Amino acid sequence: MDLTEFGFDDRWGALMAPYAAAGLVPARVVRQHRERSIVIAAAGELTGEVAGRFRRDSAGRSDYPVVGDWVAAEIAGDRLAVIHAVLPRRSAFTRKVAGNLTEAQVVAANIDTVFLVTGLDGNFSLRRIERYLTSAWDSGASPVIVLNKADLCGDPAEVLAGVEAVALGAPVVALSALDGSNVEALRPYLVPGRTAALLGSSGVGKSTLINRLLGEERLPTREISDRAGRGRHTTTHRELVQLPDGALLIDTPGMRELQLWADEDSLERAFDDIEALAARCRFADCRHEAEPGCAVRAAVDAGSLDPARLESYFKQRRELAFLGLKMDERSRRQADKSRGRRFAQMRKEIKQRKPNFDK
């Protein structure tokens, strides 16, 4: 198997060199299930599982290999690749895990382009696009907004203009994966040996789009489940596929929600128009509420800034601030546990050194 077809290059070779000296080989994760993965190595397609030491040394689930990762593996047994290390990621689309846990979930790694797919049906939402853009800018990949199901939209041009107003430089493409109209507009972003990922809610048509690009019905598809356009998960695992022209594309299960795991810089880039207005406020610490000389509120009053977009900005900023507090709290708890373990070890060592006068 020629790994350059899957994106292996000199930079990956340099990162792999210390592991190669220890007898390990490079492999890329191309399919991921809950407890196992499938990797591509020079020897072909193998079942991948992490080594016991990897499990012991990992700081959390975000350290584990995901689709798109390059790993250092040992070929063992019957078509088995034991993964000893994940090479440093060039990019990663990450979200917060569902629930109350303060932990990151890496959805896909080492992607060059991220297609943010939404449907032009009853489930269309500008506010959801804004959230995906914040995470996309944080990933290190280049975002492209894909408006699927253009055949179901009465006036795609009007919707396209609205999306472009919040995209702020990210390309926007309207198409129909079902009938193939304008799908060719994605070709400039699909380059042999480079990786794109499809991300979006359930029912937006990601698998249908991949099948259209593949030219065959390889991935299962399903009708949406209600009139609002909400779909059920057709894709149940993440998978990297190679298109006929050599481009690489990652399909992912639909997300019911996207909880942010990003930094302030990514938020500011996603809302650069609001940040530019804020720079003209009279007060540097303006909260854009009722302060005099607020350029942001003036833009809302003048009709040049959608108040719903401003509220979306406020909501994401509050969410990231709360995430920051939770991460600080977790760091303190971990530090306290570490100090407690060190203190217990010190007491044990002192007790062992203390003379026993009863003997």
pLDDT tens digits, 117-176: 999 987 789 999 999 999 999 999 999 999 999 998 888 888 999 999 999 889 999 999
Look up tokens 């280049």; give the residue: 142
CA distance 217 to 140: 31
Which sign, positive or negative, has the C-alpha torsion 238, 242, 244, 245?
Answer: positive
The reported pLDDT for the residue numbered 226 is 44
Span of 24-28, 45-49, 158-162, 323-327 with lowest mean pLDDT? 323-327
Span of 26-40, 202-216, 320-334 with lowest mean pLDDT? 320-334
Q: In whole angstroms, how large is the CA radius of gyration of the chain?
A: 24
**Going by DSSP bridges, is the β-strand pair 172-174/142-148 parallel, antiparallel, or unpaired?**
parallel
What tens digit of pLDDT does each residue of 58-88 get? Answer: 878 889 999 999 999 999 978 899 999 999 9
* pLDDT of 23 strictly over 50: yes
* pLDDT of 304 strictly over 60: yes
CA distance 116 to 105: 18
Which domains, from first to last, does the chain contain?
Answer: 3-86 (2.40.50.140), 92-251 (3.40.50.300), 271-305 (no CATH)
DSSP secondary structure code for residue 97 in this structure = P
Q: What's the pTM?
A: 0.83
- Length of the chain in terms of residues written: 359
Backbone angles phi, psi at 73, to 5 degrees: -130, 155
Across the range 236-255, mean pLDDT stands at 88
The reported pLDDT for the residue numbered 107 is 92
CA distance 255 to 283: 39
The reported pLDDT for the residue numbered 237 is 77
Average pLDDT of the chain to the nearest whole number: 86
